[in-house]
Structure 1
Amino acid sequence: MFKHSQLDSVKAWLAHPAHAAMPLHARIQRAIRQLILDGALGPGKPLPASRPLAASLGVSRDTIEAAYAQLHAEGFIERRVGSGSFVTDMTGFAPGHRRPRREAPLRDQAPRLSQRGAAMFHSGGVREMLVPRPFAPGVPDTRSFPLPLWERLERQVLKEVGTLALQHGDPQGAEPLRRAIADYVNLERGARATADRVLVLTSSQQAMMLCATVLLDPGERIFIEDPAYYGARRAFDAAGLESLPIRVDRQGVTVEPILSDPQRARAVFLTPSHQFPTGVTLALDRRLALIEWAARHQAWIIEDDYDSEFHYAGKPTACVQGLDPHDRTLYIGTFTKSLFPGLRIGYVVLPPPLVKPMTVARSLLDGHTASVAQLTLARFMEGGHFGAHVRAMRSVYAQRLEILTGLVRRHLSDFVAPRVPVGGLQMPCVLTCAMPEHLAIDAARRVGVELLGLSGLHAAGDGEAGFLMGFAAYTPAEMEVAVRKLASALQTVKVP
């Protein structure tokens, strides 16, 4: 018979809420198996007969027999006719040899990661709020998305394509979607794209990780805007690259440090249409200078065009990729901002020599993007629905930006000055008082308001103090309530 402690251990397994979904016999089997693995039941030890154990646990004898049968099938016990059940003498634990001391489980100790794995872990990753609250930046208004239309198009796709949509997809992306993306970026962004140069991905973040790992080796250098999108910086750091911050002014990234640099970085990362987080546009002469620099040094330009659809003053400037006759620019786009984050579709327009290497590398990461979503999006774009949705949301977002600007000036003028952008989904606000940035953000979070600090987006973390306020996903009423809460919270902050 089991000792009292062993019987209590089995009973604890039966009663634990985490195991409630398991059948009784499986809980008993797992509990006994753990006793064996822990060494509490050594090789050759007899197990209780099924009838008395069933009585002790208050279960049927059939339940115990089912547990023992599974233990026997897995090799943990031997069943001898007329003698009973015994713990197997497992390989490596012969009679007379002591079982080695059981190491602490992995959950209780720090795992040994690779250098890249440690860098990825310590970066903190890129986390998005599952249910965004004002004023989380970079979030589109999903409540206005034409979901019934999307559902109708998806049904059409499934009806026409059938079970083929359930199979593996092309790692480069569904051809109809690649064609629709190429047509769109050529018309709206002045790109030079064809369907065979488009690689469909799950996100722009995946595109940046691919660029970092396929184009550059650990230790090589990449120029990056300062301040910059934290997801890009973390992707490059995790890949072991040396990120060289380049100051951004009112005309975008300054090019003189890049052109005069003697060590010649292998690439430059840009958000030229709408710099993150300042919102400035890269001047044409600087674009042309960087294109010639890349051609001269056989370097790459990684262009992240994350939200250029939403430009509120005139037409957005043509993308760098469309100006580059040397094919040194990789153009990254996403539907996360223009449609909805749950779609999980982004893309990159590649120089022809990079299409096959990038596609193969992508196949090692996640194989391919979901076919049904791709084909539905292609139909959404071909039918003109994408353009119509973007135009409608551009008008809504422009109005919300104007409303937020007024609310900030009315209720937060003692604390911040807004820097009204010409586009995008968020507005930078610079602290004009002596309040430390982290205290302002902590006070906001305590009243349910989410802000992204500006200083941490600078390479040294010592940039201008302030925060980003997203406005696209929130109604005027929601923004007014949140601004009033924020004003009250900031008034209570005690500045050291």
Structure 2
Amino acid sequence: MFKHSQLESVKAWLAHPTHAAMPLHARIQRAIRQMILDGVLAPGKPLPASRPLAKSLGVSRDTIETAYSQLHAEGFIERHVGSGSFVAEMTEFATGRRISRRDPLSRNQTPNLSKRGNAMFSSGGVRELLAPRPFAHGVPETRSFPLQLWERLERQVLREHGTQVLLHGDPQGTEALRSAIADYVNLERGARATPDRVLILTSSQQALTLCANMLLDPGDRIFIEDPAYYGARKAFDAAGLECLPVRVDGQGVVVEQITAETRKVKAVFLTPSHQFPTGATLTLDRRLALIEWANRHQAWIIEDDYDSEFHYAGKPTACVQGLDPHDRTIYIGTFTKSLFPGLRIGYVVLPPQLVQPMTVARTLLDGHSAPLAQLTLARFMEGGHFGAHVRTMRSTYADRLGVLASLVGKHLSHFVEAQVPIGGLQMSCVLTCNMPERTAIDVARRAGIEIMGLSALHANGEPKAGFLMGFAAYTPNEIEGAVRKFADALGAVAKS
């Protein structure tokens, strides 16, 4: 019979809530198998007869017999008529040796990764909150999204296409969505796009990774704004690129730094419509200068137009891609900010010579985007619903920005100076007190508030301490409650 501790181990498997969905015989089989793998039951060790074990566990004898039969079929035990069941002598697995409790594979063991793998892992990745709380940045309002309309369009797609949407999709994306996107960016962003130049992806982050790995080799140089979007910097670092930071002022990236560089630089990354995180818009003369620089040096311009739909003062400036006659600009867009993050659809408008290489490379990452979501989004755009939703959200977000700016001025003016943007989903605040940025972030987190520090977004110089406050996803009441709570928490720390 099993020792008391061994019997208790099997009972624990039977009682554990995470195993509740398993049949009884499977739970018993797994428990015994684990004891064999751990070396608790040594080779040649006899197992209890099925009848007394069934009585000890309060199950039927058939349940024990089924568990033993499975263990025997998997090679963990041997069964001899008249003698009973024994742990198999041949317990060598893929490692070439028996796994024992004294020789485990440590979960904390440093993995043997490639240089690129180490760079990706050490970057920490790009993580989003599953349940955003004020003032997480870059999160759109989803509670007022027209779900019933979306569901109706999705049913239309299913009726028309049936099981066809359950199959593999075109790696470049459905033609209907590529056409809708081309029409949209041409009309609203002044782009020069055709459906055959659009590549559908899961996100702008995937687009950045593709650009980094398809257009540049490890060690190649790329200009990047300073401060810059952290996801871009991490994608380029992970690809082994040398990022050259370029200062940003009130007119966007300082192009003179780029044109004065004597070393070979193969690309520049920009957020020209609404620079992240400063909110600056790149002026027309600087856009034209960058286009000429890229053509002269046969370099690439990677233009991330991540939230240009939400411009609150006048019309947004036309995108760089639409001004570029030399086809050196890669235009990146996403529906994560304009619709909802769970959609997982982004896109790039590519120079003609890059369409096939980028599409082939995409097949090595994730194959294709879900056809059902693509076709539903295409109808959403074709029916004018996307434009209507953006206009509604633009008005909503402008109101919420006004509320946040007013409340920060009222309750946080002793601590910060708000830099109210003309667009986007977040507002920068510069600390004007002596409190360290890290302290402010920790105080906010303890109060149940999420803010992003500005210092980490800078590569050079001595950045002003401060943080980003997202406002798009939160109602005026939620914004007010969070600002008051944050002010009280900061005040308590300042007094201590």
| TM-score greater than 0.5 by the shorter chain | yes
- Which SS does the other structure have where 1:104 is aligned? coil
Counterpart in the other structure of 2:366: 366
Counterpart in the other structure of 1:201: 201
What letter matches 1:196 in structure 2?
D
Counterpart in the other structure of 2:117: 117
Count of matched residue pairs:
493
Counterpart in the other structure of 1:259: 259
Counterpart in the other structure of 1:88: 88
Counterpart in the other structure of 1:248: 248
What CA distance in whole angstroms lies between the structure 2 residues aligned with 1:99 and 1:135? Answer: 48
Find out whether 1:40 has 2:37 as its counterpart: no
Counterpart in the other structure of 2:405: 405
- Which SS does the other structure have where 1:141 is aligned? coil
Contact 1:330–1:350 at 8 Å: present in 2 too? yes
User: Kindly tell me: are residues 199 and 433 of structure 1, through their superposed partners in 2, closer, same or farther at Cα, counting changes over 3 Å?
Assistant: same
Contact 2:92–2:98 at 8 Å: present in 1 too? no
Counterpart in the other structure of 2:431: 431
Counterpart in the other structure of 2:478: 478
Counterpart in the other structure of 2:357: 357
Find out whether 1:452 has 2:452 as its counterpart: yes
Counterpart in the other structure of 1:418: 418
Moved more, 200-209 or 291-300: 291-300
Find out whether 1:66 has 2:49 as its counterpart: no
TM-score, normalised to structure 1's length?
A: 0.95
Contact 2:180–2:382 at 8 Å: present in 1 too? yes
What CA distance in whole angstroms lies between the structure 2 residues aligned with 1:18 and 1:312? Answer: 50
What letter matches 2:238 in structure 1?
A
What letter matches 2:224 in structure 1?
I
- Which SS does the other structure have where 1:248 is aligned? strand
User: Kindly tell me: are residues 483 and 8 of structure 1, through their superposed partners in 2, closer, same or farther at Cα, counting changes over 3 Å?
Assistant: closer
Structure 1 residue 105, shift from structure 2 partner: 2.7
- Equivalent runs, 1:40-439 vs 2, <5 Å: 40-90=40-90, 92=92, 102-439=102-439
What CA distance in whole angstroms lies between the structure 2 residues aligned with 1:125 and 1:435? Answer: 28
Contact 1:225–1:247 at 8 Å: present in 2 too? yes
What letter matches 1:178 in structure 2?
R
Poorly superposed stretches of 4+, deviation over 4 Å: 97-102
Contact 1:225–1:253 at 8 Å: present in 2 too? yes
What letter matches 1:387 in structure 2?
G
Structure 1 residue 102, shift from structure 2 partner: 4.6
Contact 2:37–2:98 at 8 Å: present in 1 too? no
What CA distance in whole angstroms lies between the structure 2 residues aligned with 1:443 and 1:161? Answer: 53
User: Kindly tell me: are residues 91 and 140 of structure 1, through their superposed partners in 2, closer, same or farther at Cα, counting changes over 3 Å?
Assistant: closer
User: Kindly tell me: are residues 325 and 254 of structure 1, through their superposed partners in 2, closer, same or farther at Cα, counting changes over 3 Å?
Assistant: same
Structure 1 residue 435, shift from structure 2 partner: 1.3
Structure 1 residue 317, shift from structure 2 partner: 0.7
Consecutive unaligned residues of structure 1, counting only runs of 5 or more, are none
Task: Give the superposed CA RMSD.
Answer: 1.9
TM-score, normalised to structure 2's length?
A: 0.95
1:193-249 deviations in Å (ceiling 9; x for gaps): 111111111111111111111111122111100001111111111111111111101
- Which SS does the other structure have where 2:107 is aligned? helix
What letter matches 2:143 in structure 1?
R
- Which SS does the other structure have where 1:387 is aligned? helix
User: Kindly tell me: are residues 98 and 465 of structure 1, through their superposed partners in 2, closer, same or farther at Cα, counting changes over 3 Å?
Assistant: closer
Counterpart in the other structure of 2:9: 9
Structure 1 residue 109, shift from structure 2 partner: 2.7
Structure 1 residue 98, shift from structure 2 partner: 8.9
Contact 2:37–2:99 at 8 Å: present in 1 too? no
Consecutive unaligned residues of structure 2, counting only runs of 5 or more, are none
User: Kindly tell me: are residues 100 and 388 of structure 1, through their superposed partners in 2, closer, same or farther at Cα, counting changes over 3 Å?
Assistant: closer
What CA distance in whole angstroms lies between the structure 2 residues aligned with 1:352 and 1:10? Answer: 63
Structure 1 residue 108, shift from structure 2 partner: 4.1
- Which SS does the other structure have where 1:347 is aligned? strand
